[in-house]
Structure 1
Amino acid sequence: MNYESTSYRAFKVANAVLLTILVLAMVFPYLNVLAYALNDPLDSRFGGITFYPRVLSFANFDLLLSNPDIVQATLVSVLRVVVGTAFALAVQYTCAYAFTLRGVKGRGAMLMFLMIPMYFGGGLIPVYLLYSKMHILNHFLVYILPVSFSLYNMVIIRSYLYTIPESLAESARMDGANEFVIMLRIYVPLSLPILAVMALWTAVYHWNDWTTTLYFVTDRDLFTLQYILMQILKEGERMASLFQEAIRSGNATSVGTQPQATPQAIRAANIILTTLPIVLVYPFLQKYFVKGVTLGAVKE
């Protein structure tokens, strides 16, 4: 029979209460946004919506999805996530594995060199000129190549690789295996937790990013879903601002009809559409996420 002291039982109760409060504090904002997204767009202007819609309606999503470019943009975003995540993992993992090899000379100097861009950057104009010289402006590769390497991710992967017994690689070398085979046959299968974590981080970045399209892409066939949704949101905010200004000046008829939805309602539907894929994928990667971050961040 396990005996629990009074102080320990009090700690468990306090811990449960605190965690419950934290869960509610994190879940309630998302439920509030979901309620606004599912509420009638014109009714949303009266406010007072908490965690359930007052007038259930899918008009906000219909407004976003009615854009003619939405299908093409969705395909571009999905392709960017798949290709960009796979390529980034390949680059970062091979680099991390190379930094674990003791026979590589100058590892410290190379690591210091790679750390420089973390603290110093040239700014947007030099980056634009660089991409222009690389001929990746208005090209799908502008989404893939510039963010294929992350020193932060590479260091975490390297720390994880240090937890794998080196005797496994030594045995493989004695059997005649080269470094490429050792990496693919031994290290990669043992690195699934950290690879899942890095895949989630990279995929989230690719899925949410819209500034790359804003700065470096003008071809509508390469617009991402997030950029299209941002355009719809900004246009809704502009029309709402013009309508309110016309009402104040008494010239409401000069700007046409009333906007179909409030900017807040459009923003809520936008958030739901962009976060829903990540919310659906995360539960399947959660067990790898905890293990990968823990082992990748601690080196014995």
Structure 2
Amino acid sequence: MTINRYCKKGGIGLSRTVAKEDLDSRAFGVINLGLLSIFTLIIVVPLWNVIVSSFSSGKSLAEGGFVFWPGEFSLENYQAVFRDTSIWQAFVISVLKTTIGVATHVFFCAMVGYGLSKQYVRGRKLYVAMGVITMFFSGGMIPTYLLIKSLGLLNSFWVYVIPALFSYYDVVILMNFFRNVPDSLEESAKIDGAGDWRIFLKIFIPLSMPALATIALFNGVGQWNDFMTTKLYITDESLYPLQMKLYEIIVQSQTQSMQNIGGSVVIETTTKGVQLATIVITTLPIVVMYPILQKYFISGIMLGAVKE
């Protein structure tokens, strides 16, 4: 009898605990869903407004306000963008500087990270300390400009590639990833006569694809969106990327708006539409590339998140 009473009391207490935990989990789910929904709307609504407005006519844009759907559908903004032949050249420059820059950056950082991941490398601690210093201190804009000038990289395509070759932050990520590769793989490869380069290219590079894809995605977005490099070091318009063309369109739209106060709004609204169309065009390639790298990105971003 006593045992049964204790069992019943224990069962009641256990059921109450389970019910409370179930209620807490439901409340957490509802609050979490609400916050994520608000956060999603904050991101999606302005983006949708930009896309829809880029397909609106100048007359619709002149009315102002938030545009949920084009009042008067028109492709005149995109036609105005593509009539400018320099846009195509800027697109080619953006693609080249992003692809070449990402490929060289990822390979160079992987090569340095592979070397620093080996405990037997002479001077390893000194190299690591020097790399850490670069993460917190830099020479500044003027010394960097003088260095670029002394290297002969002003008005050169390679100013997009060579200064962006190295990032110690990415080296640290790859260095920690390479340390998790079993030593038995490297030892068996050396027994078969493989050298360091072959081990690096045939074993470590294929195994580190998630980390490399994550770094490539982050660096690619940075390379694609960069216009300060052009602003500081390039005066030749034939080397302008898409982001610099977008910057010029924004500056021109502001100038024209100031010049046409009290006059016709056709120029202002047309320029605004061209500006929005250019934003969509410059953003589209990155949006298309993300789903391709998503599976590697998710694996790479979780590296080191769980320790056993």
Counterparts of 1:242-261 in structure 2, within 5 Å, are 242-244=259-261, 247=262, 252=263, 258-259=266-267, 261=269
**Distance (whole Å) between structure 1 residues aligned to residue 236 and residue 227 of structure 2:** 14
1:275 is the counterpart of 2:283:
yes
TM-score, scaled to structure 2: 0.86
How far 1:16 moved relative to its partner? 3.0
- Cα drift, residue 119 of structure 1: 2.4
Deviations 1:240-282 (A, max 9, x none): 11111xx2xxxx5xxx995153564344323211111111110
* Structure 1 portions without partners, runs of 5+: none
Answer whether contact 1:64 1:232 (CA < 8 A) is retained.
no
State the Cα distance separating 1:23 from its structure 2 match.
2.1
CA distance in structure 2 between the partners assigned to 1:151 and 1:123 by the alignment: 17
Could you tell me the TM-score, scaled by structure 1's length?
A: 0.88
Q: Mark the structure with the bigger radius of gyration.
A: 2
CA contact under 8 A between 1:163 and 1:295: conserved in structure 2?
no
Mean Cα deviation higher: 139-148 or 109-118: 109-118
**Aligned residue among 142, 146, 156 for 1:139:** 156
The answer for the alignment partner of 2:203 in structure 1 is 186
Amino acid at match of 1:280: V
Q: Give secondary structure in 2 for the equivalent of 1:69.
A: helix
Alignment partners' CA distance in 2, 1:7 and 1:224: 52
Of stretches 189-198 and 6-15 in structure 1, the one that deviates more from structure 2 is 6-15
1:25 aligns with 2:45: no
The amino acid of 1:106's aligned partner reads G
RMSD, matched Cα: 2.4
1:92 maps to: 109
Runs of 4+ in 1 over 4 A off after TM superposition: 296-300
Partner of 1:83: 100
User: What is the aligned counterpart of 1:123 among 132, 140, 143?
Assistant: 140
Distance 2:147 2:135 in 1: 18
Does 1:285 find its partner at 2:302? no
Matched, 1:74 2:84: no
Distance 1:170 1:74 in 2: 46
Instruction: Report 1:212-227 matches (<5 A).
Output: 212-227=229-244
Q: Identity percentage over the alignment?
A: 38
Q: 1:182-238 CA deviation, whole Å, 9 max, x = no partner?
A: 111111111111111111111111111111111111222211121122112211211
1:298 shift after superposition:
6.3
1:155 aligns with 2:172: yes
Distance 1:91 1:52 in 2: 47
Is 138-147 or 222-231 further displaced after alignment?
222-231
Per-residue CA deviation, residues 99-129 of structure 1 (Å, 9 max, x unaligned), is 1111112222212212333322222222222
